[in-house]
Amino acid sequence: MQYETIGRSLDNSLYCNLAQLSNGNGYVSSVSLRLFSEWQGDASLYLFIISSDTVYEISYRYAINPQRNTTEWQTIQIPSHALPIRLGHLLAIGMQENSGHTNQIYAVKLDFGYSAIDINENTTILTVKLDQGIGVAIGFTLMYYGKRIFLFDLCYLYFCVII
């Protein structure tokens, strides 16, 4: 794992890894992530589905509560069909609130990632910034026609395993 020595602030921001474009229609069944700092405050962490057909737009959002006392990898199960994703869409992670820059996710070395700032509960259209050489420590499982597809692209590696 090639981590950066920094975390990416989750406050009113979201991040996604370009190599994790969904390769099918289905739904997210679990998310693995690694926080850079222990989770602080009562605000939720959000998963966002980003469509990029003509503009970058938040299609869905789903609140999760990460484990509080760890900076190790954790996996969060998502209820069936709660977070649908389509071919070519991206899964992003971030917050709609400000927690004082205490909540951060690990930055990792990747070819490309996207970020957007000033995210709140009313944000739908995003102005994204291409982050060359950096991404975030996140992977997810896509349920596609009853099969699990793991999308994990950390450290210049891209895994797509069908079970």
Q: Where are the domains of the chain?
A: 3-162
Structure tokens at 106: 């690990």
Confidence (pLDDT) at 53: 81
Reported as a pLDDT band with limits 50, 70 and 90, residue 98 is confident
Q: Which of 71, 91, 88 is nearest to 141 (CA)?
A: 91
pLDDT on residue 163: 33
| Structure tokens, 43 | 């605000």
User: Per the confidence metrics, is the pTM higher than 0.85?
Assistant: yes
Residue 151, pLDDT score = 64
Name residue 38's amino acid: E
Q: Is the pLDDT of residue 1 over 60?
A: no
Please check whether residue 145 is in contact with residue 26, taking contact to mean a CB–CB distance below 8 angstroms: yes
Q: How many C-beta atoms surround the C-beta of residue 109 within 10 A?
A: 14
Average pLDDT over residues 44-68: 94
| DSSP secondary structure letter of residue 83 | S
